[in-house]
């Protein structure tokens, strides 16, 4: 029996500084630290401009990008160079096996964890070494 294809969780080894959305539409750091190339949390997936450009280069479907600023209260400065990803195809732990994994697509688990189809994962591995991948929910307890 063949095992069912699963989407791949996308992550980086960099520590992700938690952010929250301010009323003015900017995100704010909740503690000190460097911003990562990929940052996720409740209700957001934010990537650096460089990663967003790589994602666009693949011509994958299922995501749109909007420039965002991130406020650092320690320096009282706004950091630019990041984009929020809005992912069309949302899923949860119960319906992961129902996803259509045809072509190059983005998915989001509970609107905060980025996943990609197997064919998109293969292409991204050839374009960047910043991102790492884990099959299915193997990284989620």
Element (H, E) at 64: strand 63-72
Residue corresponding to tokens 């991948």: 133
CA distance 132 to 32: 24
The answer to whether 91 and 100 are in contact (CB under 8 A) is no
pTM, entire model: 0.92
Structure tokens at 84: 């929020």
Rounded CA separation 8/136 (Å): 5
Burial of 67 (0-12, 13-18, 19+ CB in 10 A): exposed
Q: What is the pLDDT along the chain (141 residues), one digit of tens a residue?
A: 344 689 999 999 888 899 999 999 999 999 988 899 999 999 999 999 999 999 999 999 999 999 999 999 999 999 999 999 999 999 988 889 889 899 999 999 998 999 999 999 999 999 999 999 999 988 775
Query: CA 123: distance to chain centroid?
Result: 16
Contact 89, 102 (CB under 8 A): no
């Amino acid at each position: 029996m063949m095992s069912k294809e699963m989407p791949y969780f996308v992550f980086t080894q960099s520590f992700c500084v938690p952010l929250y959305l301010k009323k003015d539409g900017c995100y704010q750091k909740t503690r000190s630290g460097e911003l990562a190339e990929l940052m996720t949390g409740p209700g957001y997936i934010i990537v650096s401009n460089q990663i967003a450009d790589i994602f666009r280069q693949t011509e994958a479907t299922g995501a749109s990008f909007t420039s965002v600023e991130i406020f650092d209260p320690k320096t009282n400065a706004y950091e630019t160079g990041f984009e929020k990803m809005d992912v069309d195809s949302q899923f949860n732990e119960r319906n992961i096996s129902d996803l259509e994994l045809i072509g190059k697509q983005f998915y989001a688990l509970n609107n905060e964890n980025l996943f990609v189809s197997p064919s998109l994962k293969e292409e991204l591995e050839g374009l960047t070494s910043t991102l790492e991948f884990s099959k299915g929910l193997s990284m989620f307890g």
